[in-house]
Chains A and B, each alone.
Chain A
Amino acid sequence: MTITQALQAWLALEHEAVWLYPVLGARRDDLVDRATASFEAHRDTRDALVTRLRALDVVPVTAALAYTVGPLSTTADARTAAQSLESRIAAACLALVGLAEDALRRYAVSNLTKAAVAEQTWGAEPRAFPGLP
């Protein structure tokens, strides 16, 4: 995997997050505040990644029309979907961590931590090694 591929894989997940959290907030009144905050954070990260990729003369991956996230009919379902997505984002960031150097590596480490903590805010328990299998 190259750095560009790792950035694209991460961006694809940020697109999914920008799609998921409004859906989740619309379906679960009790989670709307948290979903709004998550949406805003991921929207900013998505935009930053798009800018990074364009600066590399790379065409950023685009969002899908919709994503398969499982049922969101209960609060527990919604939390599970959010945890799963944040966990996958952590793994994507960790892949980039292993490839990047200097400022990009620090950026990836910082976002790995953000994703790990976000996973926790959606109900996950602390783990020794977020992002690792």
Chain B
Amino acid sequence: MTRRVLLGTGAAVVVAGGALAAGRLTGRLDDAADAVGLDPKPLPDPADTTIIGRAAFAMAGVLAAVEATAAAHADLALAGFEAIGREHLEALGGTTASTDVAAPPTDRVEAVKVLEAVYGEAVKGRADDAADAFSADLVQVLASMSAGLAQCLRAIRSLR
């Protein structure tokens, strides 16, 4: 599966095989079935597909926020958080949705506070998604993602 990540100022648009990624995460795309040409292929749990789409959209928003802040405040050194955001989005198969974010505050400390709020919401959101998901693989990815976001949140707090 190939992925193209298109990043713009204040917006993140990711074009990817979201359905395929969803299938991989939910463990329902059976390589063995593929190998012998079985058709139709098992489908992901519908609820999990919804969770993946919601999480991908939310994580695109996080990435857009951190990119916008990085562009406005180069001294904050947010490249590491941008890289993590891209990893998160890729794991979810990306999203075709366009995510617009408000311009970050011009004041550095206020901009960091806005990012803290964005990450805090994402930590809780992915933990809630992990609680709701069906596939064990997806549950683990979302829970781990939430933990990684909590690390990011702590690191961002230190930037004030």
Contact = CB atoms under 8 A, between A and B. Distances in A.
A84 interface: no
A102 B130 CA distance: 10
A67 B39 CA distance: 53
Contact of A129 (B131, B137, B144): B144
Q: Do most interface residues of chain B lie in helix, strand or loop, or is the interface mixed?
A: helix
Contacts of B145: 128-129
B146 A126 contact: no
A104 B144 CA distance: 16
A116 B137 contact: no
A99 interface: yes
B148 A128 contact: yes
A105 B131 contact: yes
Interface residues of A, number: 28
Interface string A96-133: 01110010011011101101110111001111111110
B148 A129 contact: yes
B84 A98 contact: no
Nearest to A132: B144
A118 B97 CA distance: 35
Given A97-B139, A97-B140, A109 B131 contact: yes
A129 B136 contact: no
Query: Most A CB atoms within 10 A — which of B123, B136, B150, B152?
Result: B150
A116 B131 contact: no
Nearest to A103: B131
Interface in A54-96: 90, 94
Contacts of B127: 106, 109-110, 113
Interface residues of B, number: 27
B47 interface: no
B151 interface: yes
A129 B130 contact: no
Interface in B107-160: 123, 127, 130-131, 136-137, 139-141, 143-148, 150-152, 154-155
Interface of A: 90, 94, 97-99, 102, 105-106, 108-110, 112-113, 115-117, 119-121, 124-132
25 contacts: A90-B147, A97-B140, A102-B131, A106-B127, A106-B131, A110-B127, A112-B143, A113-B123, A116-B151, A117-B150, A120-B154, A121-B154, A125-B155, A126-B84, A126-B152, A127-B84, A127-B148, A128-B84, A128-B88, A128-B145, A130-B147, A130-B151, A131-B144, A131-B147, A132-B140
